[in-house]
């Protein structure tokens, strides 16, 4: 797999970290992007705030000579607040990281993958979009934007042999959901098709398939881990 290098954002914790560890174990070359790179993931690390376009461009400029195969946009932030009580700066940060960060990284990676004439872009949405979860309106808006961007960008990249898809997990036990009361987690699980809480490995299995050649006919889709 060393001829297939993956860039993964948000590797300091949560799903991003788990995906990076799994990709390394499968033999992919991996570069992790996050604001404060951890020292215990055995891969290349670059410090980057994905919401800052200039930092993203600088990071991908350093990667232009590697055999890039995919970017996994796993960086994300959330805040549980009703719209009427969500501070504007919180709304802005949620949109900047979840939506603009995904767009910035996808655009930079897309230029490299277009030259390769193949590859994968995998974005992250959430079950919160499909269910229209109250108390997460800013997060839902940002992730809905990710889904719309995924559909449109998949058409732009199709002539280059690059697929663009999104993965939308249900509630996964990570730092992002650590502060959510268990009763809310249970209520979410009851609204899924598969009525159990998923694990980071469930998400990796979906991502791994999207990375594989076998998924080459799948693009512009949002795959729900848990079902809605």
Catalytic (active-site) positions: 139
Tabulate helix, strand, coil % of the chain (nearest 5).
Answer: 50, 20, 35
Task: Spell out where the chain has E strands.
Answer: 5-9, 29-34, 44-47, 68-73, 119-124, 162-169, 222-225
Residues 180 and 114: their CA atoms lie apart, in Å, by 40
Distance CA 10, CA 32 (A): 7
Residues 6+ away with beta carbon under 8 Å from 192: 127, 170, 226, 227, 228
Cβ contacts of 14-17, under 8 Å, gap ≥ 24: 14/74, 14/76, 14/174, 14/175, 14/176, 15/74, 15/124, 15/169, 15/172, 15/174, 15/176, 15/200, 15/203, 16/72, 16/74, 16/75, 17/41
Q: State how far the Cα of 175 lies from the Cα of 165, in Å rounded to an integer.
A: 24
Per the CB < 8 A criterion, the answer to whether 10 and 35 are in contact is no
């Amino acid at each position: 797999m060393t001829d297939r290098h993956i860039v993964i954002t948000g590797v300091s914790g949560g799903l991003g970290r788990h995906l990076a560890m799994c990709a390394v174990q499968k033999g992919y070359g991996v570069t992790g992007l996050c604001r404060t790179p951890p020292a215990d993931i055995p891969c290349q690390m670059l410090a980057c705030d994905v919401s800052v376009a200039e930092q993203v461009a600088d990071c991908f400029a350093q990667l232009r000579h590697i055999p890039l195969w995919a970017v996994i946009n796993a960086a994300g932030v959330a805040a549980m607040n009703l719209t009427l009580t969500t501070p504007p700066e919180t709304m802005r940060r949620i949109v900047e990281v979840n939506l603009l960060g995904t767009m910035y990284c996808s655009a930079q990676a897309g230029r490299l993958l277009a030259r390769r004439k193949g590859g994968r872009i995998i974005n992250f949405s959430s079950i919160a979009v499909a269910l229209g979860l109250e108390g997460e309106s800013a997060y839902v808006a940002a992730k809905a934007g990710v889904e719309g961007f995924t559909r449109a960008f998949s058409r732009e990249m199709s002539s280059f042999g690059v697929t663009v898809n999104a993965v939308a997990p249900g509630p996964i036990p990570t730092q992002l959901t650590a502060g959510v009361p268990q009763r809310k987690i249970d209520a979410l699980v009851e609204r899924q098709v598969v009525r159990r809480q998923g694990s980071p490995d469930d998400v990796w299995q979906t991502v791994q398939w999207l990375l594989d050649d076998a998924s080459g006919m799948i693009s512009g889709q949002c795959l729900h881990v848990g079902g809605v």
